[in-house]
Amino acid sequence: MAGYFEAAPDGAAVIALDEVEVSILRSLAVQLLELIGPGREHEEGADPLAALFAEGPSSPPSDPALARLFPDAYVDPQAGDAVGREAREASAEFRRYTENDLRARKREDALAVVRGLDGLEPSGGGAVLRVAGDDARHWLGTLNDLRLTIGSRLGVTEDDEELYRLPDTDPRKPLVMAYLWLGGLQESLLETLV
């Protein structure tokens, strides 16, 4: 997994992916969709206008990965019980009015990634992915969300050098490798679009 995005002459970003890389990216994006959930707008008979005015949850998710994807706006998670009542109330209100839209955007991003991967035409055991325009925003959002999710599952911190030196026998090693690879993809995509 050494391929990274490169700039195309027309300003798009391109990357050659082998079948395994396509499969891993697709699987991770589908798992992200499952984690985020389907959303109310996908319920049978749902009124699209009512969905615009629907209030979201007022408390943070209990799953650490979802809590990382949908963090509190005004509460410092490191502060613990020292967080004031006003900050908790402001965070709950902010979440109630923004989380549904944020979930919908994250779903839209991940679905665009899955569709982009599904639309690839294989050639010689791999395919060339081309990302431009809105697709770049979808890809950047999903790559970031995947890294946040995997990082949360691994317990990654800023100064966590231990994870980068795991032996091959450690069951966390594949997740660490995916985390690092996704970071390289995200960074190379950003660099080609700047």
Average of per-residue pLDDT values in the chain: 86
Which tokens sit at 63?
Answer: 């799953």
Q: What is the pLDDT of residue 1?
A: 39
Helix segments in 17-163, DSSP class H: 19-36, 48-53, 64-69, 85-118, 134-154
Alpha-carbon distances, residue 12 vs 135, 137, 190 (angstroms):
10, 12, 11
Query: Considering only 3-7, 130-134, 137-141, 164-168, which range has the smallest mean pLDDT?
Result: 164-168
Distance, CA of 191 to CA of 7 (rounded, Å): 8
**What's the pTM?**
0.85
For residue 153, the number of C-alpha atoms closer than 13 Å in the C-beta half-sphere is 15
Q: What is the pLDDT of residue 192?
A: 93
Q: What is the pLDDT of residue 98?
A: 86
Which tokens sit at 154?
Answer: 């691994």
Q: State pLDDT tens for residues 149-176.
A: 999 999 888 777 788 888 999 999 999 9
- Residue 130's SS3 state is strand
**3-state percent helix, strand, coil for the chain, nearest multiple of 5:** 60, 10, 30
Looking at residues 7-19, what average pLDDT do you find?
Answer: 94
136-168: string of b/e by CB count within 10 Å (b at 16+)? bebbbbbbbbbbbbbbbebebeeeeeebeebee
